[in-house]
Structure 1
């Protein structure tokens, strides 16, 4: 009998379900004194209030490649390169007021929004014979 190569054939389908599972935390601050152009507004963690209206004790860590921070001053989103975010119990938020910009006035609201994602996926493979 001559040699031959046998080919095995199998077909399968795979279904994957992915959930993003975001966690959103917001922190609120009212500027105490005017911050002029060329200066930086620094807000310590304890100066923020949480959504519950109590003083914050820690700023959330950012999940690597699965998080972002938004900062709003008087309801306007601040450019990312003007913001420095430090997490933890000694955390703080720094907002640079560029030269040539209008000052941030006293009593202006600042909102910090921290979003972390904890994605998960499940896959099911069904072999069709």
Structure 2
């Protein structure tokens, strides 16, 4: 019998389920925020979809999440926002209103959208 290369035959397939967990938080400004100022909204000043007050803003999953800020229904640039997760007095959203622009008027809706992902993967190996 001649020499042969003996090798393993292995096949593998991986299925990954992307599982987003979106949350939305709402706020209506109580006063005008001038251009060049910062609008800071405490966790307890937000309310949820069902109208209940927020007690804690959720953490962002490391490398697997994002947040968006909408002011008066318009998506805002990320660099103007600072998000801090946590309970009342700690958790907040700070939005720096660009100098030279328009102010944020009283009674303007602000929506904070947070999306965390919890992906799961399954690998099947056949030999």
State TM-score, norm by structure 1: 0.92
Task: Please state if 1:21 is matched with 2:19.
Answer: yes
The answer for the alignment partner of 1:126 in structure 2 is 126
> Deviation of residue 8 (structure 1)?
1.5
Q: Partner of 1:46: helix, strand, or coil?
A: helix
What are the within-5 Å matches in structure 2 for residues 1-129 of structure 1?
7-89=5-87, 90-127=90-127
Structure 1: gaps (5+ residues): none
CA distance in 2, matches of 1:59, 1:104: 23
State TM-score, norm by structure 2: 0.93
> Deviation of residue 56 (structure 1)?
0.2
State which structure, 1 or 2, has the greater radius of gyration over its C-alpha atoms. Answer: 1
Count of aligned pairs between the two proteins: 124
Structure 2: gaps (5+ residues): none
Spell out structure 1 runs of 4+ moving beyond 4 A: none
Instruction: Let me know the Cα RMSD of the aligned residues.
Output: 1.3
